[in-house]
Structures are given as C-alpha cells and as structure tokens.
Amino acid sequence: MSEKKLLLEVQGLKKHYPVSGGKVLKAVDGVDLKIHEGETCGLVGESGCGKSTLGRTILKLHPATEGQIIFDGQHIEGHTARQMRPLRKEMQIIFQDPYASLSPRMTILDAVKAPLDVQGELPEKEKLEQVHRILDVVGVAPQHMYKYPHELSGGQRQRVVIARAMITRPRFVVCDEPVSALDVSVRAQVLNLMRRMQREMQVSYLFISHDLSVVRYLCERVVVMYLGKVVEQADKKALFENPLHPYTRALISAIPVPNIHVEHNHIALEGDIPNPVNPPGGCHFHTRCPYATERCRTEEPLLKEAAQGHCVACHRAGEV
C-alpha cells in the first residue's frame, strides 16, 4: 500500500510570550511535526506543557514566534488573516469546552451554519441543507435546531461543536481535548463518531489529550511533550509497548488497569513541574527523572531516531 500524502509539516515552531521582569515564557519551543492525510496524531503531556498552544499556533489562532508551518505544500506561517480565510474551511478546531465555545445567543442552526456564512460561497437554501445533513450525521435530532446551547446536554453540545467544525468538510482538524468534559459513556459515543467521520471524509486529526487510554484507542501515532518540547514520538504500538523516555514511561504507567488480578507498577514522578518561565538547564526533565546524570543536567538532549520512526530526546534512552 502506498504511503499517505503529507498534509501538514511543522518545522522548528516556537511560540513565546513576554512576561514581567523582561523574561519569556517559552510555551512551544522548537517543535517538529508531520501529519499525513487521513491520519490521527495524538499529542499528550501534562497540563501546561504547551499542547493547546501548539495546536492553536498551527492554525494561526496565535501568531508563531518562529518556525515554519507548511499545509499541503504551502507555507502559511506568514499569512495574514485575509490570506488565511480561504484555508479556514480546510483547517478547523474542536474546542475542549463545548458550552464555552458556543454562543449562548445563537441557536444550534445559526452556530453550525456560521462557518458557511463566513465563507459566503453558498445560497441560503443550500446552507440549510448542509446544516440538516451534518446534524443528521452527528446524531442531533432536527427538533434541536432551534434550541440554544443551555437547552442541550453536554454530549449533544459536543456533537454540535463537531458538526460546526466538520460542515466545511475540512482536511485537518485540531481536537483540543474534545471529550475530557464528557461522561465515560458519552465519551465513547463521541470518539466513535469522530472515527466514523474520519473514514467518510478522510480528515486528519491532531488529537490533544492528557488521557492516554483515549489516545491509544483513537490515534495511529503519538507525540509526547514536556515543557514546550517534544521528548518522544512514535507510532502507537511502538510507543505503548516500548516507551524509551522516562517521562513517557511514567505517563503510560498512570493509565488505570481495571483488573485487580493484574499487577500494576505505577511510576510516581517526584517533585513538581518546573516553572516554564525559568526551566532547568540541560534536559528539562532531569529534576524529576530517577535516571538523570551530570550530562543530563548540563547538556540538552536532541530529538533523535532510536529506531525506525521512533524518535526520543534522552541521553540514556538506550541504557534504561
């Protein structure tokens, strides 16, 4: 089977924020990323590691400080808002909180139709037909079209948010923890919906989450971030069966195992996450790593390929 076409490539992407005292918060600090057509790439890490900022910077909701964003062969990092408008229908986002991302003053019909209104390419009748069609696909009953967000359940609101993102038939969608606010039963329904829509539309997902069990279910490849940097990336099977970075091993060990007869060795990381405004020298993870050496404290590890398609930024990846 031929290799899928490369859809999105990010090279050396940085997003820095100035803070008081002349210091700089390096939310995203030199990230490289590739996503192919029809692929789901998981992006994981603790809260505050830069996952959401990376996703929004790729979509140019935040201007990049440095680096390249190449979408379908086109460099877009320097695009203005006007230049980005034709691409917005191809690059969408599903936000974490469905209630906060829907206007309380807009009906479900108006909210889902809004992307088509912005594009201004279709007559009103065809817009309404597309809204009916996409709401049927996501499982929102027609009688809900004239309701407001507060009149729907959390699961229904998230389906509406997905419908709004998908109505333009995008090629790439950033999913920013889209199921973290949902009950477990509803979460499964939404994940299955996203998989089905991906098969039908051949859309690519950047799936941001701190829940590795969800990532393991949905994603084909996984990228692990820590303090604004990528520390490991590999296909799902290689990462979960043979994690090479101590941080990745700790994250995977935290996945609950619903079986009292299975021995579960949880790796507890000591200490707190360092201040991102003043990160430690060398490897950012060395203050919490049980295998850190003097080299880890003074020399920053580069992201290198340890096996085919499996990259890791750790001086001791081959030893531990």
Domains and CATH numbers, the chain: 6-90+170-312 (3.40.50.300), 102-168 (no CATH)
Give residue 312's identity as a one-letter amino acid code. V
CA distance 220 to 150: 35
> What are the residue ranges of helices labelled H in the chain?
51-58, 81-88, 108-119, 124-138, 154-166, 184-201, 212-218, 236-241, 246-253, 294-298
Q: What is the pLDDT of residues 185-200, one digit of tens each?
A: 888 888 999 999 999 9
Q: What is the pLDDT of residues 122-145, one digit of tens each?
A: 899 999 999 999 999 999 998 999
Determine the 3-state secondary structure of 169 from DSSP.
coil
CA distance 161 to 99: 9
Q: Which has the closest alpha carbon to 246: 160, 164, 317, 182? A: 317
Q: Which has the closest alpha carbon to 224: 197, 252, 205, 200? A: 252
Res. 22 pLDDT band, cuts 50 70 90? confident
- pLDDT at position 258 is 65
Do the Cβ atoms of 81 and 199 come closer than 8 Å? no
Phi/psi of residue 33, nearest 5 degrees:
-155, 145
Q: What is the pLDDT of residues 54-87, one digit of tens each?
A: 999 999 999 999 999 999 999 999 999 899 988 9
CA distance 243 to 251: 10
CA distance 299 to 287: 13
The answer to whether residue 260 scores a pLDDT higher than 80 is no
CA distance 276 to 245: 20
Q: What is the pLDDT of residues 94-104, one digit of tens each?
A: 988 888 899 99
Task: Write out the two tokens for 197.
Answer: 């829509």
Q: Which has the closest alpha carbon to 57: 49, 47, 45, 66? A: 66
pTM attached to this predicted model: 0.91
* Angle (nearest 5°) at CA 38 between 140 and 62: 80
Q: Which has the closest alpha carbon to 254: 266, 242, 262? A: 266
Do the Cβ atoms of 38 and 15 come closer than 8 Å? no
Q: Which has the closest alpha carbon to 14: 39, 59, 50? A: 50
Do the Cβ atoms of 224 and 50 come closer than 8 Å? no
Pairing of strands 204-208, 40-44: parallel
Do the Cβ atoms of 140 and 158 come closer than 8 Å? no
* Angle (nearest 5°) at CA 21 between 20 and 25: 60
Q: Which has the closest alpha carbon to 42: 264, 217, 249, 223? A: 223
CA distance 36 to 32: 14
What mean pLDDT is predicted for residues 34-47?
94
Do the Cβ atoms of 100 and 85 come closer than 8 Å? no
Do the Cβ atoms of 216 and 240 come closer than 8 Å? yes
Res. 242 pLDDT band, cuts 50 70 90? very high
